[in-house]
Amino acid sequence: MTTTIALAGKGGVGKTTVAAMIIKYLVKNYQNPVLAIDADPSSNLNMVLGMDLEWTVGDIREEMLEQVKASLTSSGAAMGALPGGVTKRDYLDYQIRTAIIEGNNVDLIAMGRSEGPGCYCAVNHNLRSVIDTISKNYRFVVIDNEAGMEHLSRRTTRDVDHLIVISDPTPRGIIAAARIAGFRNELDIQIKNAYIIINRYTGGLAKELEFQIEKIGIPLLGYIKSDKTLAEFDMNGKALIDLNDDNPVYLSVAAMMSKISL
């Protein structure tokens, strides 16, 4: 059975950092393969995982659409096939499997750039189908989502077992987290559990901030304090997944993940 974990939060709160620590925890404690999906168009999850990124799903989608446009006059394109009789579904399946970046017990799919002008409904349907089929081969799927959650249901038709909303300890961060938490009920996918994590925690929260966290209506999973070593890794472009197991950021995330039924 596959367990899907998705991260969300406003830009700059550290979603990708937390995603890397969650993946590190899963690899270390379960010895099962993890599929990481970078659903943020900026595509930098590969950097914190120490992986080279050359090809994204967005690139594959655009290349396929160019082929379709070039052959619109053929009956094959009209019937959902590409030149040579290859179906769009088979083309996407082959290309995405080829584009998977393989690591040490963690593989990565980067969604890449957002859709351009035009209708992408049929393509996105096939993309979801392919990615969901691939996901079934993994014990865990971790989705590093873009700033909001508007596109999460475009990326997968899978239910999300655990949604983790990341915020910093600021009023704007908490307000954004509350909006994201509320929006989860409007998606076309089911989210079974939701939590909030406060990143870059510096000490006692003001009463008003604590009250705002309580109002979000999802459990507070814990706090992550800023860490000098992690900041140095980030500054020097080092893979965060290579942080020592006794790093305080990793230990904080590991303690939180141990509270979740995986």
Domain ranges of the chain: 3-52+102-113+126-257
pLDDT at 51 over 60: yes
Q: How does pLDDT run across 121-174, given as a tens digit for each residue?
A: 555 666 677 888 888 899 999 999 876 655 555 555 568 899 999 999 988 888
What is the Cα 206 distance to its own chain's centre? 31
Mapped onto helix, strand or coil, the DSSP state of residue 170 is coil
Antiparallel, parallel or unpaired: β 140-144 and 34-38: parallel
Top-confidence residue, 148 or 209: 209
Residue 38 three-state SS = strand
Beta strands (DSSP E) in the chain are 3-8, 34-38, 101-102, 106-110, 140-144, 160-167, 191-201, 220-225
**Phi then psi for 173, rounded to 5 degrees?**
-65, -45
Class in CATH terms, 3-52+102-113+126-257? alpha beta
Strand partners, 196: 165, 220
Does residue 115 surpass a pLDDT of 80? Answer: no
pLDDT at residue number 28: 94
Matching residue, tokens 């307000």: 175
Which of 42-46, 87-91, 190-194, 222-226 is predicted most confidently? 222-226
pTM beyond 0.85, yes or no: yes
Residue 53: pLDDT above 60?
A: yes
Asked whether the predicted pLDDT for residue 201 surpasses 60, the reply is: yes
Q: Are 22 and 142 in contact (CB under 8 A)?
A: yes
Q: Which one has a higher pLDDT value, 213 or 146?
A: 213
| 3-state SS assignment for residue 28 | helix
Mean pLDDT of 60-70: 73
Kind of pairing between the strands at 160-167 and 3-8: parallel
Q: Which residue, chain included where needed, has tokens 């559990």?
A: 193
Determine how β-strand 101-102 pairs with β-strand 191-201: unpaired
